[in-house]
Structure 1
Amino acid sequence: MAHWIQAFLEAQAAELDAATNTQLAYARDLHDFSGWLDDRAQHFETATRDHVESYLIDCEAEGLAKSTRARRLSAIKQLYRFAFEEGWRDDNPAIQIKGPGRAKRLPKTLDIAEVDRLLEAARNSPKEKLRNTCLMELLYATGMRVTELVSLPVSAARGDPRMLLVRGKGGKERLVPLSPPARVALAAYLSARDEAEEAARKDGKPASPFLFPSRGKSGHLTRHRFFGLIKEFAVAGGVSPAKVTPHTLRHAFATHLLAGGADLRSIQTMLGHADVATTEIYTHVLDERLKDLVLEHHPLAKAAKA
């Protein structure tokens, strides 16, 4: 079964350019299923629809979330589709199984005042002030995923760009516009970065291809380090750290654009969503906010509370 999983993951990486995190998730899910089958003296080759359904029932009994069970079923279906194409099986035992669906949860976001406090905290960082300001301005101005942000090539930032070319999931590229504050922050940081790179080059160190270089293995600032940074900005800015992650800034970008009158298709393009249905969740976020606004400020609502 390990051979099946390895071959499947290699095909995903080669044919679909699947992201590392996606491959790791597939590997975890399929190893869990293979362990379950092994305990019952079964194999991917012999498993039936009943086995797959029984496995999902056990996952539910363990208290796994709907989203986790849906993801595991998706991984199993894709493995068997691959096995069918390779001729390892002449059927897909999971193809007709319906998933548990996903719980409808609205994404957490931030209001404009909270974002302003985060940006101000970055501007007043005790260390790496220009870099931190640039990171936060770019994130809020573009709605990039954190991996896209920290791995940006420095070549994308040259020439005072009005737009950035971003390489997203599956290797797909898209253009995202930069706001004036983001361009100012980028220019200031780039100047300081280039000076530091020139000094390092004189010491015999190679130049970094990344906009946000690091001495770590990846060569650029890591997702985990940026996650820690944004929590520090939350504390410094008086915003609840529990509300703040790089992804909530992405949600804030989309929600604030929508509230300002941007159309869904444009937001879909800037976020890099394959399906506009994914982007439509922000209309529900806006609806909830408007409802809360009415309930809090409408005179009839206040009279009802009294």
Structure 2
Amino acid sequence: MNSNQIKCFLSVGKTVSFTKSAQDLYLSQSTISKNIQKLEAELGVKLLARTHQKVSLTDKGKVFFVKMLEINQEIDNLIKQIQTEDKKQKVKIYLGYTDVPFEEAYLPIVMRLVNQELNINLRMRLIDPNSSIKLDELIKNDSLDYLLFQKDYFSNNSAIVFKPLFKKSFSVLVSNTDPLFSKQTLDLNDLKNRHLLIWDAHNSLPTVRYLLHKIDASDLNCTCQKVSDIMALTDYVLTNKGIGIIPSILYDKNDKSVRYIPLNCDIPIVYGLAYRKELDKKSYSNSLYNVFNKAVKIAASKW
């Protein structure tokens, strides 16, 4: 059970609508549904009754909703009390993240370093890159101050600054029964005559378009299918419906069901920090970026 699951459940419990909750939380309906399903699986009870027309709380869901609402309010009150008692007035900054596996190790280190070294109250906000809201709009309309994502999404936006943290490329996902399973690296020629399941965001990324162009130009006799849900893509690979191609930042070291193999394709994918240009003038700007850089080095040694 985690805070994202609770947040999704409480929102649907209030709105009684996946559509309204998706708009309120800037997440896709599928992300909200999956979080609640994971919560139900951990609790071993059904919290929501779902039909094609509506969603409602079950009897146990109503009990859990009321209690969790009380607990959530107590936590909010405690946080406000602690912040009020802090003698120093901290700058509040909202950081968007997309919950890629690397961030599970990385973000706790960022939080620890920020608390140790900076007079900043860093607030985390989970963002779904496949929601209807464009990521750059969340930055420009002040919903977020900073966002961790890949550079090419913001390549044509002069109002947004991007500072790199590290560079990766693409990886290929294969099942343990696939002929490519034993290879340490792959070239484009290794993908000949295969059905390729290529991850891409709802708003297609330039790096993915460039990869598709290189595949077309290489005469590999491949079929390509874009998939925006990494969990669905992994399921397709496990059921031998194709091999996956994903940005290497989506590598999950805890997932032993598939093999991630680096793809030699000379397409860099830069992961880093995007923010509004005017934040460069803030006194904390360089110090905050240095903290993010330091956290990458610590997390990379463990990942």
TM-score by length of 1: 0.28
Computing the radius of gyration from Cα coordinates, the structure with the larger value is 1
Structure showing the higher helix proportion among its residues? 1
TM-score by length of 2: 0.29
Highest relative contact order (Cα 8 Å, sep 6+), 1 or 2?
2
